[in-house]
Amino acid sequence: MSVDSAVVRRIAHLARIAVEENEVERLRGELNAILSFVETLSEVDVEGVEPIASVLPMQMKKRADVVTDGGIAQDVLVNAPVKEDHYFVVPKVVE
Amino acid sequence: MSDLTHLSLADARDALTSKKISAVELTKAHLSAIESARILNCFITETPELALKQAAASDERIAGGQAGPLEGLPLGVKDLYCTNGVRTTAASRILDDFTPTYESTVSGNLIRDGAVTLGKLNLDEFAMGSSNETSAFGPVISPWKRKGDPGAKIVPGGSSGGSSAAVAAHLCLGATATDTGGSIRQPAAFTGTVGVKPTYGRCSRWGIVAFASSLDQAGPIARTVRDAAILLRSMAGHDPKDTTSVDAPVPDYEKAIGASVKGRRIGVPKEYRLDGLSAEIAGLWDQGVQWLKDAGAEIVEISLPHTKYALPTYYIIAPAEASSNLARYDGVRYGLREPGRDITDMYEKTRAKGFGPEVRRRIMIGTYVLSAGYYDAYYVRAQKVRSLIKRDFDEAFAAGVDAVLTPATPSTAFAQGEQGSTDPVEMYLNDVFTVTVNMAGLPGISVPGGLAANGLPLGLQLIGRPFDEETLFSLASAIERAAPNFDFPQPWWR
């Protein structure tokens, strides 16, 4: 399978990465080089093989559903690029 | 007192406990070595004041008989580990001046045990790379030089290139690193150092910037096998904050150093004898077999038939997990923000500016293989092949093999710009011997085997049973004793 320039633009949008028109061709070449490298997996017989879930034979640990942390809004917000009071600020999403 | 930087970590520990030296003087010696080695670009952030404060506190604890296992020992921390109050970048522009208000569990364990932290070490951006050339803070230069080629800037390997170069240049006694596909073992092999990728789950991943969560594992880089064993004991352990960390006691790995390897069965996988494997690497491998035989181990040929699919599998699974993990860098909660006409435009511009080319490429591949219509063909198939790769190892171990011996890398270190500039896959091939270990969640160690004809170090890799790092330390110390001695490079960078 290989990708064309329309697919490159679609993937970039899904990944939320702006791509300039003059970058599309180069990206297409690079992505196709990687895809052709992984193409070899299509020759492996995976009939009846379970996809791996974990390399460790262990049960998912669970804990009681109680609050164990919190009340640190200041710490949570300290690295925010734009903030107001105890809120992250983003461009307007609804009209 | 610059020769204090030439102590091994174990010797420095003993000199500190017997009060022959102080933690402050040991730390000052390393800080001055760091200052005179800035041309190597090992550190992204130096923390001399913090280090001296920690060292003074260590001296007090030593005087008061309260010394921890790493008391007063100056270490470097890969800048993928979140450090409380110290900028953490993952070598990416997108994290900007991100300064955590918490400490990663593993670096916290080192501090709990008394270590002195000298600063944050350079790496490939988000740990994606094998040469430390993708860092937004510029490449790291290895202290090693190729014979007869003084102008070439040799790469220290990657992604833990700042860690490997700083340890090889004697800027710290040891360093933390992380390994997703070979990022501890390959840079260790390139710099003549020892690197340990523990069993998945041995060290907590909490507070370490995530790349591919089912593969990432923390581990040490040091100059001797013993030093690596001492560091791993402090780094390892159960952490309730990481549900994949394993609740099992941490052995005293140092006791495994020098232990007899008589009768141990060592598997040599025939599939690792790749077409075009250089005679020098093949020769080193044979030599390693002989060293272990001489130490009393038994050598058996084994087959790991899915080996050649490991790297392609990795280049589906790792980018898929990365594309998901790196979705958090959106310009809202921390890091860089580029203004846009609406929120989507803001996300897209922020991520285009903040991520370097290799990271963008991997996010896009990951997005593609997880997207509707391709998920089964790529991602699910890769997860099935990963099961087969793990099964190969399970069967070898079930047949009585105690560990597997392979080369660590397909070549010695190369110079900046020599690989991957036209085809990204060329760079990916560096991890051909190491990536299987991450796929199967096993422990691996890279140990120096001497120098190649070009004057650069070569490494051997040992792969162990899950949670049997002790056997790896015993075998690696046997190789370390048998391998020809070499000197780390003279400080041409001063």
Q: Which residues of B4-40 are buried (b: 16+ CB within 10 A; e: fewer)?
A: bbebbbbebbebbeeeebbbbebbbbbbbbbeebeeb
* B306 neighbourhood in chain A, CB within 8 Å: 44
**Residue A21 belongs to what domain range?**
5-43
Among B145, B120, B92, B151, which Cα is nearest to B362's? B92
Interval B347-378: pLDDT, tens: 999 999 999 999 999 999 999 999 999 999 99
Say what percent of chain B tops pLDDT 70. Answer: 100
Low-confidence ranges of chain A (pLDDT < 50): none
Question: Quick one: angle between helices B310-325 and A24-38, nearest 10?
Answer: 130
CB B370 within 8 A of CB B379: yes
Strands (E) in chain A, as ranges, are 83-84, 87-88
- B129: phi > 0 → left, psi -120 to 50 → alpha, else beta; which? left
Residue with structure tokens 């080695």?
A: B37
* A40 neighbourhood in chain B, CB within 8 Å: 308-309, 312
Q: Do A35 and B365 touch (CB under 8 A)?
A: yes
Interval B141-154: pLDDT, tens: 999 999 999 999 99
CATH number, domain containing residue B222: 3.90.1300.10
Hey, what are B310's tokens?
A: 């490991």
Q: Do A56 and B466 touch (CB under 8 A)?
A: yes
How far is A23 from B198, CA to CA, in rounded Å? 40
Q: What is the mean pLDDT of residues B3-32?
A: 97
Residue B122, pLDDT score: 98
* B376 to chain A: closest CA residue: A51
CB B89 within 8 A of CB B120: yes
Strands (E) in B140-188, as ranges, are 174-179
Hey, what are B418's tokens?
A: 């020599």
How far is B187 from B164, CA to CA, in rounded Å? 6
Rg of chain A, C-alpha, whole Å: 23
Out of A19, A51, A78, the one facing B383 most closely (by C-beta) is A51
Cα dihedral B440, B446, B449, B451, rounded to 10, equals 120
Quickly list DSSP for B89-116.
Answer: -TT-GGGTT---SS--HHHHHHHHTT-E
How far is B190 from B459, CA to CA, in rounded Å? 7
Task: From the candidates B107, B183, B234, B323, give the one annotated as an active-site residue.
Answer: B183
CB B222 within 8 A of CB B6: no
Which amino acid type is present at position B294? D
Interval B416-428: pLDDT, tens: 999 988 888 888 8
Q: Comparing B54-68, B73-87, B271-285, B350-364, which segment has the lowest mean pLDDT?
A: B271-285
How far is B29 from B20, CA to CA, in rounded Å? 15
How far is B325 from B207, CA to CA, in rounded Å? 13
How far is A40 from B311, CA to CA, in rounded Å? 10
**Residue B269 belongs to what domain range?**
8-493
The answer to whether position A14 is within a domain reads yes
The answer to whether position A51 is within a domain reads no
Residue with structure tokens 């040991």?
A: B26
pLDDT at B2 over 80: no
List, in order, residues 6 or more apart from B328 with CB less than 8 Å away: none
* B390 neighbourhood in chain A, CB within 8 Å: 52, 55
Tally of domains in chain A: 1
Rg of chain B, C-alpha, whole Å: 21
Angstrom CA distances, B440 to A52, B117, B181, B272, B389, stand at: 10, 32, 11, 16, 7
List, in order, residues 6 or more apart from A69 with CB less than 8 Å away: none
Say what percent of chain A tops pLDDT 90. Answer: 80
Interval B471-494: pLDDT, tens: 999 999 999 999 999 999 999 999
How far is B469 from B84, CA to CA, in rounded Å? 30
CB B202 within 8 A of CB B443: yes
SS3 (DSSP) at B394 = helix
How far is B30 from B359, CA to CA, in rounded Å? 33
Q: Do B364 and A18 touch (CB under 8 A)?
A: no
pLDDT at B109 over 60: yes
The answer to whether position B3 is within a domain reads no
B2 is catalytic: no
Q: Do B383 and A44 touch (CB under 8 A)?
A: no
Residues 208-247 of B with CB under 8 A from A: 214, 240, 243-244, 246
* B440 neighbourhood in chain A, CB within 8 Å: 55
How far is A31 from B216, CA to CA, in rounded Å? 24
* Size (chain B), residues: 494
Helix (H) or strand (E) holding B75: strand B74-78
Residue B1, pLDDT score: 41
Residue A94, pLDDT score: 81
Q: Do A49 and B384 touch (CB under 8 A)?
A: yes
What is the complex's ipTM, to 2 decimals?
Answer: 0.95
User: Best interface-test mutation with B: which of A8, A30, A50, A68 has the largest number of B CBs within 10 A?
Assistant: A30
Helix boundaries (H) for B66-160: 105-112
The answer to whether position B1 is within a domain reads no
B422 interfaces chain A, CB cutoff of 8 Å: no
The answer to whether position B400 is within a domain reads yes
Hey, what are B473's tokens?
A: 């330390």
Hey, what are B313's tokens?
A: 């599998």
* A86 to chain B: closest CA residue: B333
